Amino acid sequence: MRNIKLVFWGTLVLLSVLWAAADPSAFSLAGFFALRDAMTQYTGVIAIGCMSVAMILAVRPRRPERWLGGLDKMYRLHKWLGIGGLVFAVVHWLWTQGPKWAVGLGWLERPARGARPVLENPIEQFFMTLRGAAEGLGEWAFYAAVVLIALALIQRFPYRLFYKTHRWLAVSYLVLVFHTVVLTKFSYWLTPLGVALLLLLACGTAAAVIVLLRRVGAGRQVEGTISKLIYYPTLRVLEGEIEIPHGWPGHRAGQFAFVTSSEAEGAHPYTIASAWHDAERRLTFIAKELGDHTRTLKERLRIGQKATIEGPYGCFTFDDDCPRQIWVGGGIGITPFIARMKQIALRSNEEPGRSQPQAIDLFHTTTDYSEEAIAKLEADARAANVRLHVLHDLRHGLLTADRIRAEVPEWRDASIWFCGPPGFGAALRRDFAAHGLPVTQRFHQELFQMR
């Protein structure tokens, strides 16, 4: 989380500093309308800067992923930047339209305009002829972006519709790029701010084209066939196995992939619940009926059906040098830990003399209980030499940080790996931080919310 906060606030601060350096006269302006012109430029720069970085992250670039802590963190940053861009765009629109309303109501008096200076630069002259079109198109693109971003933030908005509508933000963005290039103060383009804007707009434009051509993640996609489907009615969970004959580069336990079983629904992210064995070439995914898409999987999927898998993604890969690890899987959040246990067991079978260097305690708390599923979990834990603690909420009560510390007296030497409901994870993190655990380094939580 620290790195995504750094990028978010760093983007705002850097663009603000570059704008201040490009237009120092903005701090000594006299009169409301001069201030309005400066604020219109400033808010426009910040808005399009946030939107550009968000658009770049939308194509899932590889290099920033590890530094940001995984694609889940990258998408959280994408969301923050989208909201930030929307807020500054609204303020930009208010600075543009508000004074016009005030003049119409007689609250402000528009200053007399003198003769326009003669423009000698042919590019600036050309931009001047496009101002009317840039203003009109930019306003409509702004309205479209407001609606599309608002829909993306409404969790009840069906994913299949979100998948289709969210792509159109790329069109709005391209129109806003035209709006920005034409209406940005021409003198800015010869400053470091202009260089930064050009770089952001160029990369953002390329990303928007990739989105519109549906080429996001194309280089990381492979084709597979569904070979097994098991439904656990008590848990409302579907376990599926996909055979991948070739192309999959392998993955580490804890990573996830985007799976497309229907073009109409688009790609959905699922944590991989299996270790990779090159001789078998199969991936296992587990989906709980939590939304409009997952509730229909058991009716729509069938053995022999083709599926596209894109990945792997994520940095929830259990990498640390602590002598002990504590795993907490809430509900369907048990999935990455299943994959890790299978990976440990597979490595032990391949290298019989090699022992697991860390002592591991796995806490699985669940509202729904299935004897069959828990039996499989217990078998995986025995094979990986993991100490398993299963807590059925109705029988054993809720899992708390105090309970974990009581079960694992050596918790101060451990790292904690959490996957489950965000509120539960946040509560555990606060509690362990209050008890002195350096949570920034040793509390790992996947933000498995992609919108």
Question: 122 exposed, middle or buried (CB, 10 Å; 0-12, 13-18, 19+)?
Answer: exposed
Pick the closest to residue 362 from 346, 347, 381, 344 (CA basis).
381
The two tokens of residue 171 are: 């069109």
Pick the closest to residue 448 from 290, 298, 232 (CA basis).
290
Digits of tens for pLDDT over the chain (451 positions)?
788 999 999 999 999 999 999 998 877 767 788 889 999 999 999 999 999 999 999 999 988 888 888 999 999 999 999 999 999 999 999 999 998 898 888 888 877 776 677 777 888 888 888 999 999 999 999 999 999 998 888 877 887 788 888 999 999 999 999 999 999 999 999 999 999 999 999 999 999 999 999 999 999 999 999 999 999 998 889 999 999 989 999 999 999 999 998 887 788 899 999 999 888 899 999 998 877 778 888 889 999 999 999 999 999 999 999 999 999 999 899 999 999 999 999 888 777 766 667 899 999 999 988 899 999 999 999 999 999 999 998 888 899 999 999 999 999 999 999 999 999 999 999 999 999 999 999 999 987 666 6
Total-model pTM: 0.89
Cα–Cα distance measured from residue 153 to residue 356, given in angstroms and rounded to the nearest whole number? 43
All structural domains of the chain, each given as residue ranges with its CATH number in brackets, are 2-112+121-212 (1.20.120), 218-313 (2.40.30.10), 324-445 (3.40.50.80)
Cβ–Cβ < 8 Å for 89, 148: no
Buried b (16+ CB within 10 A) or exposed e, 318-336: beeeeebbbbbbbbbbbbb
Q: 398: helix, coil or strand?
A: coil
Cβ–Cβ < 8 Å for 411, 437: yes
pLDDT of residue 115: 66
